[in-house]
Structure 1
């Protein structure tokens, strides 16, 4: 950490050091930052650009393109519904529709295309906690019991 550097910028430099030799290091670095802080602080964009010899626009473009990255903390409870083929075959479309219609304020609903739980679909994550064989009633119960301040961020 250089003099006057924020802890987030220092952590970004540490993530770069851990992935510097990898091809396409930006994505793993962003996933590390997202996992640690729950979002990718816009203040790290110039740090990552400098460290990886990229333009700020390139770094920002990657962050804004992928739905897994947030630029601010997510409000309330975050529900991620898997919509991959195996989960679709087990009712994920209906579950996603239920989530979008019924979960209400304070709940952010996101679709993803694999949570790695194909045998137990439909799968969801509620604040980063994975659950399988979820129907509408179980999803409602998972959301009701979720602590919006306790979040384990899923990384791909």
Structure 2
């Protein structure tokens, strides 16, 4: 993941990704996923390229990027911690746990620690309702979180 790229490089790399995936049926979502995997986020410079290459309006592309919560328009930290904010997790102490994580990291949701180590994001249902409260750390699910397990996740993220 390279988040420091010049505008021309973004266009070239976006064109390469579009070229690889354009033949898919409904290619926009897979292309956006690949762009985010490449850059760590979806650069604004990619949007007009996608619109032009997929024969879509810029508004259509922008609408898709902003509708889905997993697409980011800015770089994240080296690690991403997503805390479930759905009702089952809230009922099992998720709000208290979220406040604990925010205090441990010194940030709020949608923020990244000053050292660039961790980005904290809310997520609305990880499908682990029976194991609430739950989180996702760098794509790995964690359930039945408590103060000790949250401290371990934050320590791992800080390494």
TM over 0.5: yes
Residue 8 (structure 1) shift: 3.2
1:45/1:59 contact within 8 Å kept:
yes
**Which of 57-66 and 68-77 deviates more?**
57-66
Q: TM-score, normalised by structure 1?
A: 0.73
> What does the per-residue CA deviation read over 1:17-66, in whole Å, with 9 as the maximum and x for residues that have no partner?
23xx23xx534432343345431133321222123322223312432344
| Aligned residue number for residue 61 of structure 2 | 59
Pairs aligned (count): 141
Alpha-carbon spacing, 1:84–1:36, altered in 2? closer, same or farther (3 Å)? farther
Using the alignment, how far apart are the partners of 1:54 and 1:82 within structure 2? 33
| Aligned residue number for residue 125 of structure 1 | 136
What are the within-5 Å matches in structure 2 for residues 1-150 of structure 1? 6-18=12-24, 21-22=25-26, 25-104=27-106, 105=113, 106=116, 107-146=118-157
Residue 7 (structure 1) shift: 2.6
Using the alignment, how far apart are the partners of 1:12 and 1:119 within structure 2? 40
Alpha-carbon spacing, 1:128–1:136, altered in 2? closer, same or farther (3 Å)? same
RMSD value over aligned CA atoms? 2.6
2:17/2:34 contact within 8 Å kept:
no
* Higher-RCO chain (CA-CA 8 Å, sequence separation at least 6): 1
> What does the per-residue CA deviation read over 1:96-124, in whole Å, with 9 as the maximum and x for residues that have no partner?
22222331234321111122222222111
Q: TM-score, normalised by structure 2?
A: 0.72
Using the alignment, how far apart are the partners of 1:129 and 1:75 within structure 2? 16
Alpha-carbon spacing, 1:42–1:12, altered in 2? closer, same or farther (3 Å)? farther
Residue 132 (structure 1) shift: 0.9
Using the alignment, how far apart are the partners of 1:80 and 1:98 within structure 2? 14
Alpha-carbon spacing, 1:9–1:41, altered in 2? closer, same or farther (3 Å)? farther
2:101/2:154 contact within 8 Å kept:
no
Using the alignment, how far apart are the partners of 1:40 and 1:52 within structure 2? 16
